[in-house]
Amino acid sequence: MPSGSTPAGHRHGGRSRHPRTSRRRDGERPPTPRIDPGVLREGIGVLWVAVKAEPRVFTVAVLASGLYAAMTVGTAQVLGWATEDVVLPAFRSGDTTAGALAGAATAILAVALLKALGVAGRRFYAGLMQYRMQARYRRAVTRQYLRLPLAWHHRHPTGQLLSNANADVEAVWAPIAPLPMAVGVVLMLVIAAGSILITDVVVAIVGFLVFPAVALLNVLYQRRLSPVATRAQQLRAEVSEVAHESFEGGLVVKTLGREQDETERFAERARALRDANVAVGRIRGLFDPVLEALPNLGVLAVLLVGSIRLEAGAMTEGDLVHVAYLFTLLAWPIRALGWVLAEVPRSVVGWKRVRGVLDATGSLPYGDRSLDEGKAAALEVRDVRFAYETAEGEASADVLRDVSFSVAPGRTIAVVGPTGSGKSTLTSLLVRLVDPADGSVLLDGVDARDLRRGGVAETAALVPQQTFLFDDTVRGNITLGLDIPDERVWEALRLAQADGFVAALPDGLDTRIGERGATLSGGQRQRLALARAVVRRPRLLVLDDATSSVDPQVEARILSALRDAQSAGGGGVTVVVVAYRKATIALADEVVYIEHGRVADRGAHAELLERCEGYRNLVTAYERAEAEQRLMSGRADDDRTGTAEADSEEAVA
């Protein structure tokens, strides 16, 4: 996108074309996305994407988790051995050796250290994998936003896009943190099951009854949680959308005294999100204690049956300690499976929303051609037709139809037309923010669609009427991170007639100007936006009424400086200006008059005044209004004079 530009089409296809989901009538709510019955299968598919993307990190995390699992079982083995061979003999004989105690302590300490190493490795690499995937998909979503044309952005609220890049991406990869633990749990269960079966089959069968109960409970948990989690995820996007819209429209809200209504609008969505999150919490609060209790009940059952088996002589004290300790340890790892399963519904919902962005079509195609540098660009618009798409994806009525004109290198052309005639849309086409449905825009005889990525931005710059400035310094707003010398920055400021007020700022180029340039006037913001465009020395400069907030004298100096820049070096820039003021139009070499989306006439300003009635009525509207006002004022004066004379004659009579 050219520097200084904002989404074009703000008068013909901007955000207002998208229905505001937060102002639906009759309490209507957006439909909740439905989760397929195979949500677990979909969730596994999402996690497999992460595994394929980060195989090495995942492998290390799983190996560390496997070490933890093996050492967990090893702890039970060591405790069983210490009980059988060290503790119980000491109780029986009343004596023990220092070597036996040291051996038991060393074995327990070694297993504990290896177990701690496994925990640290699992957590570190699981977190590394999770944050890498979040960063990767945030970048992917952001790059897709930049690739997608404005027509797509017109149909999607900004709050929803922010939610896609933030909350949805976080939800997608939330299960990664407990995933290696869950994989280690599976290994632990296998090892523990084998160890328990070898120790005592009867006790093992009693203890294993807890696993199908946990599995059944998790299935019920997912079915209850999925629709509620989906609803909460959707509401997060809606809250972001309302908040963003309220911030953007803060000036309108305050000047019209609608703070209370806007606060209530946000509060209504926030309450809905609160209720959805509370519903999620209630379901978790209902199932979590049961999930926690089931393994503990299994331990009690094992101790009860194990005691009976111990009295019958079927197992030793060490075997019972070994088995009971294993089931005690398994109570927490089994919950790790529940954590993964609990995050799967949100992960699937977030994945669908993120994939909806990544799979979106309509990105602008690019070729591999480049343009020459150093001279002004030749511009040709050939049989262009364009129509915006509605929020439902259907094409609206044509905004531009059969538009054709050309501009020679180094010339200035003024585009004039009544409101709604398609002028701003045309500027978007000239700098390829959007592509025409039919026809083509050619720069130096090359179709803009055949240029390589970034080729148009290197050649053309757009300065829109609605300027946008970042919460940065003056220098940062002009250079946008490019390494441009200060001399060149001041040169651009002088051309834009902004050097005077910038020099008067407290820190000059290093002065921060606030969010959206809040510390500057409208005219100052427009001049900085113009400097931001010309500092890149474009070969085609498109001005969409870019000096509307500047007084006529400053505007005349700006246009004069642009004309001088055209004359310097054999004509360095071609200028297309959307103009309303008669003085601005008169400075153009040629005028293109657009009416109802078509080129109604073109030629010199004086020629169009004579032969084109629509053009004449438009550009002389202010003069005619002033003349009519003077005429009405003169008639009123005559009436007052006549009345005074009549009164005087009557008084004399």
pTM value is 0.59
Q: Which residues contact 495 (CB under 8 A, 6 or more apart)?
A: 530, 531, 534, 558, 561, 562, 565
Burial environment of residue 216 by CB neighbours within 10 A (0 to 12, 13 to 18, 19 or more): exposed
Highest mean pLDDT of the ranges 51-60, 64-73, 302-311, 350-359: 51-60
d(CA 366, CA 77): 65
d(CA 134, CA 129): 9
* Average pLDDT rounded to a whole number, residues 267-272: 86
Ramachandran bin of 374, using left for φ above 0, alpha for ψ from -120 to 50, beta for the remaining angles = left
d(CA 566, CA 574): 7
pLDDT of residue 606: 84
Q: Can you read off the two tokens belonging to residue 210?
A: 């807890």
- Number of residues that this document lists for the chain: 653
For the ranges 61-65, 186-190, 355-359, which has the lowest average pLDDT?
A: 186-190
From the list 572, 515, 513, 577, the residue with the least C-alpha distance to 550 is 577
* Average pLDDT rounded to a whole number, residues 262-282: 84
* Average pLDDT rounded to a whole number, residues 369-387: 82
From the list 167, 229, 164, the residue with the least C-alpha distance to 360 is 164
End-to-end Cα, the chain, rounded Å: 81
d(CA 235, CA 443): 45
Q: Which residues contact 643 (CB under 8 A, 6 or more apart)?
A: none
Q: Give me the chain's average pLDDT, please.
A: 75
The conformation of residue 173, written as its DSSP 8-state character, comes to: T
pLDDT tens column, 3-55:
333 333 333 333 333 333 334 333 333 333 334 446 777 777 888 888 888 88
pLDDT of residue 238: 78
Amino acid (1-letter code) at residue 340: V
Query: If DSSP states are collapsed to H, E and C, what string results for 251-301?
Result: HHHHHCCCHHHHHHHHHHHHHHHHHHHHHHHHHHHHHHHHHHHHHHHHHHH
From the list 460, 535, 525, 462, the residue with the least C-alpha distance to 493 is 535
C-beta of residue 2 within 8 angstroms of C-beta of residue 431: yes
d(CA 423, CA 544): 8
d(CA 80, CA 76): 6
